[in-house]
Amino acid sequence: MPVEITWWGHATCTVEDSGTRVLTDPLFARRLAHLRRRRGAPPPPRAAAADVVLVSHLHADHLHVPSLARLAPGTRVLVPKGAPRAVPALRKLNTLKIIEVEAGARFEVGNVAIDVVRAEHDGRRLPVGPHTAPALGYVVNGEARTYFAGDTGLFDGMAEAVGDVDVALLPVGGWGPYLGSGHLDAGRAAEALARIAPRSAVPVHYGTYWPIGMDAVRPHEFHAPGEEFVRQAALRAPGVAVHRLDQGESVRPEVAG
pLDDT tens readout for residues 88-99: 999 999 999 999
What is d(CA 90, CA 199) in angstroms, rounded to the nearest whole number?
36
Is the CB of residue 80 less than 8 Å from the CB of residue 46?
no
Is the CB of residue 205 less than 8 Å from the CB of residue 151?
yes
pLDDT tens readout for residues 204-250: 999 999 999 887 777 878 889 999 999 999 999 999 999 999 999 99
Q: What CA–CA distances, in Å, run from 249 to 34, 41, 179, 207, 257?
A: 26, 12, 26, 14, 24
pTM score > 0.85 for this model?
yes
**35-37/97-101 β-pairing:** unpaired
pLDDT at position 129: 64
For the cut 80, the answer to whether the pLDDT of residue 177 exceeds it is: no
